[in-house]
Amino acid sequence: MLVSLAATTLLCVALWNRPRAASDSPTPAAVAKLSAMRDAAFGLCDFAMSPGASLPEGTLRVKSGEVDLQFACGAEMTLQGPAVVHLKTPMLAVLESGRVSCNVPEQAIGFQVESAEYTVTDLGTRFELEVGERQWVRVLEGEVDVEPKESTAVRLTQGETASVTRKRVTRHRVPLQEIPLGNLFDDPKGTPLRTAIKTDRRGAMATAGSMGVQRVVRGEEVQGTVHEIAPGVKMNLDSLGWCEMSSRGVINDSWCPYTLRPIQTQESSKQGDFGEQGIGLQACQFVTFDVDEIRSAGRLFERELAFVADRVGVNWDQPDDSQVNLAVIASNGKQITGAWVNGNQVDVIAEDGVATLGEELPRHAWRFSPVQFFCPLEGSTRYITLISSAPSDARLQSAHGVFSGARLKTGGVDGWAARDGEFVQLGDALDQRFLFGDQRWSDYEFSFEAMKRFGKEGFLAIVRCADAKEFTWVNIGGWQNRRTQVERKLRPQGRQRPIGPVSDFVIEAERWYRIRVRCEGYTVSLFVDDELLLQYEDDGRMQRQGKVGIGTWATSASFRNFRVESLDGEVLFEALADSNSN
């Protein structure tokens, strides 16, 4: 293979550097530049292939790996081998076969990718397409026009995927991945969910007539601390701090740019671009969403859901010590199914039909210390309630809480699939596992390579798994990709528990990692890229034998190069080995 690659490279270089006759034409203008390549191998090409090389009109053949091109117009293209592309002009490439993704800035609007079946014309966007046994186009951002050779153009917008032939463009509805809840406030009940999400009026106020909203309650409107926060569920809010403070209601809001670096959003203000669209609640008030109504509007039946908010705290631009308690309560019309306060899950105590929170609550959120929420919802959950309340010693002033980036995250496309020598978790559903091996395996090293495709976390390396009720795994880049730690599940426990030392190691997307877990006695060691990351000594209750496996949590990932080896060097299992990897 190396001989073939070397010969091909020498041939390309020879063609590129051949002596010119006096009558040779001047050096042709560059169509594109080869900006980067990753594990790339090339077939016969019309020019030299090296990072930074200028590429004139001609043909590029990628046998394997990935190649990044930057066209003279500013458009960027990534080819995934095997692929053949003909570079025509700075505004036109012809894809003969393979898969490409394109990122086209505003100055390159009109950039085209042509195939034998159709032409894609960019309108300022990110898109990808494949030519081969399958012919499809997917729009990641913005819009494109897809024109079959024997039909008229069809416009595809963000989130749409279509199969294409010479005569027809067939749209495939991509399941909704995220539902920004604040975007629903300016839409009446009965609005289709996709339509509601597209509208985004910052400052829109939530009412009981808003899409997906079940009720909005302000402290000044009710008396006492016991309230029905959702149908069939009463709660004593005294532990959070509750008062009859006057407030302006629940609005579509975002993190204040004074308190955090602003990030791009769909709307701008005179003070700059605001952060993620979210939900603002002045203390003391709450808003309850009807999850079933949202499911029905988006046809999300039987899909797993989680509530997510990226930055949660006090939204106030003055240098004071304003504080709030912020809570998320899930319920099913009869009882509470989950409760989180200031980013942490808490216990709920029910007595005489009234729920109260545990006595010790996580520390309150305040201006300089935002928290994050990631709340998986049980299948029976019918309502979620967001509460902004105040500790008894808080300085309220005009501060209010904000759930910035508040959204429902759907489970994506469930399931594992073998693709091109890799084992892939296609979607980003919660708690996806795949087990293999021998139940009698005891001391061994389990290794594999993993790459995060998209999602909120990293990978699970499962070892010594007896069954779903007794196992150990290393959660690499877990807890919203904030840390890495061993988790152990013992048979009497309701769920796995974090245990042992913590590493701040996190996972980057689109990068391959070499993962190795060594099990020896009651010691579990994690190596990443051959470096020891953490070592855990169990207290003797860990399962000593069991299968191995891989897993993901709210993340889509690819895996390859599986290997299980006994500590004396015997190979117990090997699969999806890649001869090109180190």
**Can you give the CATH number for the domain in which 442 is found?**
2.60.120.560
How far is residue 502's CA from residue 476's CA, in Å, rounded to a whole number? 10
Q: What is the CA radius of gyration of the chain?
A: 28
In tens, the pLDDT along 442-473 reads 999 999 999 998 888 999 999 999 887 789 99
Question: In which residue are the tokens 């190795």 written?
Answer: 516
Residues 442 and 393 in one domain: no
Residues 346 and 485 in one domain: no
Residues 337 and 241 in one domain: yes
If one counts the domains in the chain, the total is: 3
**Which residue in 322, 336, 327 sits closest to 369, CA to CA?**
322
* CA distances, 258 to each of 174, 267, 316, 320 (Å): 37, 17, 8, 13
DSSP secondary structure string, 315-330? ---SSS--EEEEEEEE
Residues 482 and 386 in one domain: no
Residues 525 and 473 in one domain: yes
Cross-strand pairs, 148:
118
How far is residue 385's CA from residue 408's CA, in Å, rounded to a whole number? 13
Spatial contact of 156 and 139, defined as CB atoms under 8 Å apart: yes
Q: List, in sequence order, every beta strand (DSSP E) within 363-431.
A: 365-366, 371-377, 383-389, 400-404, 407-410, 416-419, 422-425
> Final residue of a domain: which of 410, 439, 469?
410
Residues 118 and 212 in one domain: no
Residues 124 and 230 in one domain: no
- Range of the structural domain that residue 287 is part of: 179-410
Residues 162 and 36 in one domain: yes
The CATH number given to whatever domain includes residue 63 is 2.60.120.1440
pLDDT per 10-residue tile (average), the chain, 582 residues: 39 41 62 88 82 90 90 93 93 94 92 95 89 84 92 86 87 69 90 80 84 90 88 89 71 50 32 56 87 88 76 61 80 92 84 83 55 78 90 54 80 55 76 80 94 89 87 92 92 80 92 96 95 94 89 89 90 63 36
Cross-strand pairs, 69:
34, 77
Per-residue DSSP letter, 220: G
> What confidence score (pLDDT) does residue 368 get?
46
Give, for 481, the enclosing helix (H) or strand (E). Answer: helix 478-481
Per-residue DSSP letter, 511: -
DSSP secondary structure string, 9-22? HHHHHHHHHPPPPT
Q: For residue 582, tell me if it sits in a domain.
A: no
Spatial contact of 287 and 216, defined as CB atoms under 8 Å apart: yes
Residues 153 and 86 in one domain: yes
DSSP strand pairing (92-103 vs 112-114): parallel
Q: For residue 23, tell me if it sits in a domain.
A: no
> What confidence score (pLDDT) does residue 422 get?
80
Q: For residue 242, tell me if it sits in a domain.
A: yes
In tens, the pLDDT along 58-117 reads 999 999 888 999 999 999 999 988 999 999 999 999 999 999 999 999 899 999 999 999
How far is residue 14's CA from residue 269's CA, in Å, rounded to a whole number? 57
* Position 437, amino acid: G
* Position 560, amino acid: R
Q: For residue 355, tell me if it sits in a domain.
A: yes
Q: List, in sequence order, every beta strand (DSSP E) within 166-238.
A: 169-172, 178-180, 213-218, 226-230, 233-236
Residues 114 and 237 in one domain: no
Q: For residue 580, tell me if it sits in a domain.
A: no
Q: For residue 581, tell me if it sits in a domain.
A: no
Residues 116 and 237 in one domain: no
How far is residue 473's CA from residue 132's CA, in Å, rounded to a whole number? 40
> What confidence score (pLDDT) does residue 340 get?
87
Residues 114 and 201 in one domain: no
Spatial contact of 278 and 182, defined as CB atoms under 8 Å apart: yes
Q: For residue 350, tell me if it sits in a domain.
A: yes
Spatial contact of 517 and 446, defined as CB atoms under 8 Å apart: yes
How far is residue 124's CA from residue 105's CA, in Å, rounded to a whole number? 6
> Final residue of a domain: which of 388, 410, 432?
410
Joined together, the tokens standing for residue 383 give 């309502």
Spatial contact of 143 and 114, defined as CB atoms under 8 Å apart: no
Q: For residue 569, tell me if it sits in a domain.
A: yes
Spatial contact of 538 and 464, defined as CB atoms under 8 Å apart: no
Question: In which residue are the tokens 């809570």 written?
Answer: 327
> Final residue of a domain: which of 172, 196, 227?
172
